[in-house]
Amino acid sequence: MNELAIHGGTPVRTRLLPYGHQWIEEEDINAVAEVLRSDWITQGPKIEEFERKVAEYCGVKYAVAFSSGTAALHAACAVAGISEGDEAITTPITFAATANAITCSGGKPVFADIREDTLNIDSNEIKRRISPRTKVILPVDFAGHPADLNEIKTIAEEKGLIIIEDACHALGAEYEGSKVGSLADMTAFSFHPVKHITTGEGGMILTNNEEFCQKLKTFRHHGIVHKPNEGPWYYEISQSGHNLRITDFQCALGLSQLKKLDFFIQRRREIAARYNEALTKIDGIITPFEEDFVKMVYHIYVIQLRAEMLKVGRKEIFKALRAENIGVNVHYMPIHLHPFYKSNFGYKRGDYPMAERYYDRAITLPIFPKMSNDDAEDVVRAVRRVVTYYQVE
Ligand SMILES: *Cc1c(COP(=O)(O)O)cnc(C)c1O
């Protein structure tokens, strides 16, 4: 067998394969250029068209586009009424933006530990963390696998809580036959280049609640409400707000990308299927779990190391895979272990054992529609080479 690249052998690949990448074609570029040549480059007709098309795709009444997924989450937290002293329950295994959106509204993120299989927030842990100050439950569809939305809805209805679903990993995912976006009070998507479709930066909230929709639009635009009866120029600041708007040319890109979403998802699922088939045969790793009543869309593909079967830790395996030019990553360090959350909210190591155990063993492999089947085989070869080298006999 070949020597590992980290020990001086020839790497599996000559160029680094990133963990995620956008797929932009000439038709996408032309769609953007067309708007740039028009009169409206910020608040033009493409925004509403993009909102309408995404809402239709997900089977939801209303959509409000934002300058990023983070901005969308921030607006949703504000519109849900989170303010000083309120609590929102979320998962520690997510991108920082999820918890930051709660703290930006003045709320406290209260974490609930994850399930071992789907790596999503555990409903029983949510129940344990509810207090009189809880206002929102904020589940994340980790890696593109929908959270336990039925159970979370039951809890929310019983306690009068609002559900904001962070579906930034899960555009196009399905839960019991329904598209993600139609299941929570408000659902957030991101259109960052590593996500399923891109607008450069961009995000969106989907909702079936007309009042939420209005408030989200107002929050996105400085809290401004126009009152033409008072005069054609007249507007008032009716609530808190920001400038969280997206541009028209970004939405033109989004519209062009949306046409390819189903193909992008199919490609991700094909690559994941190939990984699952090849990697389940390696004893030292655990491959992702997918419930049979969901359609997972693999924003990321995460393997977990079986620490007891390996001679070295995650860091060594990670470095060895990078040396093979596989752009592995880690998603994510649990939020409660970040210094800001430790010092402001008193969290510490040991608070969320499942999340911490997961973090110590997780490695994200490259997955994105534009990678070729050969790229996928490189990943399989590199993982097989590195993990079997370090496996105990
Ligand atoms: C990407 C992402 C966000 C933020 O989206 P941006 O568009 O990058 O601001 C929020 N939550 C999760 C889980 C994400 O993956």
- Give the max Cα distance, the chain: 81
Q: Give the other-Cβ count within 10 Å of 33's Cβ.
A: 12
Would you call 253 exposed, middle or buried from its count of C-beta atoms within 10 A (0-12, 13-18, 19+)?
A: buried
Strand partners of residue 226: 235
Most informative mutation of 190, 196, 297, 368 for ligand 1 (most atoms within 8 A of CB): 190
CA distances from 13 to 9, 27, 131, 220, 388 (A): 11, 31, 52, 45, 18
Q: What is the pLDDT along the chain (393 residues), one digit of tens a residue?
A: 579 999 999 999 999 999 999 999 999 999 999 999 999 999 999 999 999 999 999 999 999 999 999 999 999 999 999 999 999 999 999 999 999 999 999 999 999 999 999 999 999 999 999 999 999 999 999 999 999 999 999 999 999 999 999 999 999 999 999 999 999 999 999 999 999 999 999 999 999 999 999 999 999 999 999 999 999 999 999 888 999 999 999 999 999 999 999 999 999 999 999 999 999 999 999 999 999 999 999 999 999 999 999 999 999 999 999 999 999 999 999 999 999 999 999 999 999 999 999 999 999 999 999 999 999 999 999 999 999 999 998
> Rounded to an integer, what distance in angstroms lies between the CA atom of residue 103 and that of residue 300?
26
Rounded-to-integer distance, Cα 33 and Cα 330, Å: 36
Ligand 1: does its nearest atom lie under 6 Å from the Cβ of 97? yes
The reply to whether ligand 1 has any atom less than 6 angstroms from the CB of 198 is no
Residue whose tokens read 């390696």: 282
Q: Is the CB of 332 under 6 A from ligand 1?
A: no
Residue 111 per-residue DSSP state: E
Ligand 1 pocket test target in 103, 192, 199, 297 with most atoms within 8 Å of CB = 192
Ligand 1 center from residue 97 Cα (angstroms): 6
166 lines ligand 1 (CB under 6 A): yes
Determine the pLDDT at residue 99.
98
- Cβ neighbours, 10 Å, residue 375: 16
State if residue 250 touches ligand 1 by the CB under 6 angstroms criterion.
Answer: no
H or E element, residue 282: none
The response to whether residue 95 sits with its C-beta less than 6 Å from ligand 1 reads yes
- Determine whether 372 is exposed, middle or buried from the number of CB atoms within 10 Å of its CB (0-12, 13-18, 19+): exposed
- Atom number in ligand 1 closest to CA 73: 10
Counting from 1 in the atom list of ligand 1, the atom nearest the Cα of 195 is: 1
pLDDT computed for residue 393 by the predictor:
81
> Whole-angstrom Cα distance, residue 138 to residue 166?
7
Structure tokens at 241: 């707000």
Residue 116 CA, ligand 1 centroid: distance in Å: 23
Task: Name residue 236's beta-bridge partners.
Answer: 225
pLDDT score, position 1: 57
Tell me how far CA of residue 317 lies from CA of 8, 162, 237, 326, in angstroms.
Answer: 15, 41, 54, 11
- Residue 249 is classified by DSSP as H
β-pairing, 301-305 vs 285-286, is antiparallel
* Gap between the Cα atoms of 167 and 173, Å rounded: 9
Structure tokens at 201: 């930066």
Q: Pick the atom of ligand 1 nearest to 192's CA.
A: 7
CA distance 384 to 141: 28
Residues pairing with 225 in the sheet: 236
Q: Residues 77, 107: contact at Cβ < 8 Å?
A: yes
- Atom 10 of ligand 1, residue of closest alpha carbon: 97
Q: At a CB cut-off of 8 Å and minimum separation 6, what does 369 contact?
A: 23, 263, 264, 267, 268
Does the CB atom of residue 200 touch ligand 1 within 6 A?
A: no
Atom of ligand 1 nearest to the CA of 97: 10
120 near 114, Cβ under 8 Å?
A: yes
How far, CA to CA in Å, does 235 sit from each of 227, 231, 333?
A: 6, 9, 44
